[in-house]
Structure 1
Amino acid sequence: MAAPMELFCWAGGWGLPSVDPDCLAVLWGSGAPQGGGNSVVSPLGYSVGSKRVFALQKYNADYDLSATQSADTLAFVSLLEEKLLPVLIHTFWVDAKNYVEHTRKWYAETIPFPLNFFLPNAMHKRHLERLQLMWGDDYMEDEEKLEKELYREARECLTLLSQRLGSQKFFFGDSPASLDALVFSRLAPLMKAKLPNGKLQQHLKSLQNLCNYCTSILSLYFPWDGGESHPLRYPAGLE
């Protein structure tokens, strides 16, 4: 077996093992399949605070997908990145009420002194620039127009995901694939965060199968830490 790999990720909170979507995707989508019987083999290995230790395995979550399912994966990944990611950035980092009362507050309370004084604002600026690259200056200058378009497309994206999932356990049946890791990592923070302005969150919570999907993944694959707030270890480049 290959030597363990260490991943330093953002701390857990809001009932999640990490509040960062990219960390969530890696944490859940990094390895082994589900075990048989009543037991579950977590793909994560084990955790020490927010340092995750992985035993790398020769396992490809998409190995058994058909050509059609692989094409569907590419289509839905593109949909998530184009239609859902921009509104998640807006919801957590641009919406003034959410940013001040929820996002900045959490990071300022979690990041140790003295970084908590400037790092949240630096992240805020970086996310603004990212959204500007996605949508252009015209939309960024018209906040009402930007918000209207963002949330319309995001609601459509969530509805399509709900229709595609249907009553299945995962998007391609009884076994998870890479698409499940990506979808879960985008939906779980939106579902679990206590947002003052939760317009898109309300739409997600009306899609019961998507909420059940996220809850099931949390209970199956993260039963031991359930999002407890661990001492923060910074992602690469921030230590």
Structure 2
Amino acid sequence: MSLAADAFVSQIAAAEPWPENATLYQPLKEEQILLSDNASSLAVQAFLRMCNLPVQVVCRANAEYMSPSGKVPFIHVGNQVVSELGPIVQFVKAKGHSLSDGLDDGQKAVMKAYMELVNNMLLTAELYIQWCDETTSAEITRPRFGSPYPSPLNYILAYQKQWEVRRKMKAIGWAGKSLEQVYEDVDQCCQALSQRLGSQSYFFSRQPTELDALVFGHLYTILTTQLTTDELCDKVKGHGNLIAFCRRIEQNYFEENDRDSTSSMSSRFSKGP
């Protein structure tokens, strides 16, 4: 199929209404999913709930290999498969749903800048801690990542993934960073987010945007994920308005909509602050 024909098919599919059987795929929740993937999945779930679009979450051991981009989460909507928050936001917008239509051009530019900050700092820090910190990698990351697979495939896949992430860290200039420097980057990112949020309910006043979904996904997951130390979690817990922000979104978009699936999330979160 030509690029023009492919684009036409995509436009037709995007114009179709959102189906009730839309599905979001992610790695196995309890035994496999890692901090960074869990954060990204939760951000997409928050975004779709904020748009009032139903989606069923399905966990698959091979979700990463099912994804068209090799990254999770991804959604299956009608005949379309779309992965990662940015493309999913654009796909949903094509269907007539957007959280940021009410923003002016200047506000949209600010929102985009903060989303880049979160992806460049928080997501990268999560990947670094998972795969570049030897203690975390040995005790948590490699065992969880390879858990669905038999030996020696579990070791092969885990070390292959670690090599890929470390190569990426080298390419972006993070390979030479110490763990303390990474925590400092996270702290600076949290300070910037805290200052931007201030006393508002959301980053742009009373209504959530894509930025709120992205920040919630990462901060909430950091607050509720057990690592080898509490240092990463403590960077978030140092900002009371960010904790209140996470609780607000949990209560408004998760507890009220699906109490069964969020009861454990609530109990874990209550132990954080």
Q: What TM-score comes out, normalization by structure 1 length?
A: 0.73
Instruction: Indicate the structure with greater helix content.
Output: 2
Change (3 A) 1:113 1:220: farther
Task: Kindly indicate whether residue 196 of structure 2 is the aligned counterpart of residue 154 of structure 1.
Answer: no
Q: Counterpart in 2 of 1:101?
A: 139
Q: Which residue does 1:36 correspond to in 2?
A: none
Q: How does 1:120-135 map to 2 (within 5 A)?
A: 120-135=158-173
SS at match of 1:167: coil
**SS across alignment from 1:29:** helix
Within the alignment, does 1:216 sit opposite 2:265 as a pair?
no
What per-residue deviation string (whole Å, max 9, x for no partner) do you get for residues 164-187 of structure 1?
112222111222101112212222
Q: Which has the higher contact order (CA 8 A, sep 6+)?
A: 1
Check whether the contact 1:12–1:227 (CA below 8 A) recurs between aligned residues. Answer: no
Q: Does 1:24 align with 2:9?
A: no
Between the aligned partners of 1:100 and 1:172, the Cα distance in structure 2 is: 40
User: Any residues of structure 2 matched to 1:46-85 within 5 Å, and which?
Assistant: 46-48=56-58, 58-85=96-123
Cα distance change on mapping 1:43 and 1:92 into 2, 3 Å = farther
Question: What amino acid is the match of 2:186?
Answer: A
Shift of 1:49: 5.2
> Is contact 1:158–1:204 with CA below 8 Å preserved after alignment?
yes
CA distance in 2, matches of 1:203, 1:106: 24
Q: 1:67 to 1:206 in 2, by over 3 A?
A: same
Q: Would the aligned equivalents of 2:25 and 2:58 in 1 still touch at CA under 8 Å? A: no
Are positions 1:207 and 2:217 aligned together?
no
Secondary structure at the aligned position of 1:80 is classed as helix
Per-residue deviation at 1:28?
2.0
Alignment coverage as a number of residue pairs? 212
Deviation at 1:228, TM superposition (A): 6.9
Q: What letter corresponds to residue 134 of structure 1 in structure 2?
A: I
Percent identity between matched residues is 24
The residue number in structure 2 matching 1:11 is: 28
Question: Displacement of 1:204 after TM fit?
Answer: 1.0
Q: 2:195 pairs with 141, 159, 163, which one? A: 163
Match of 1:38 in 2: none
| 2:55 is the alignment partner of 1:45 | yes
Normalising by structure 2, we get a TM-score of 0.65
Q: For residues 54 and 94 of structure 1, what CA distance do their matches in structure 2 show?
A: 35
For 1:226, give the aligned amino acid: T
**Distance change >3 Å, CA 173–CA 153, structure 1 → 2:** same
AA aligned to 2:56 is Y
Q: Say what the alpha-carbon RMSD is for the aligned residues.
A: 3.2
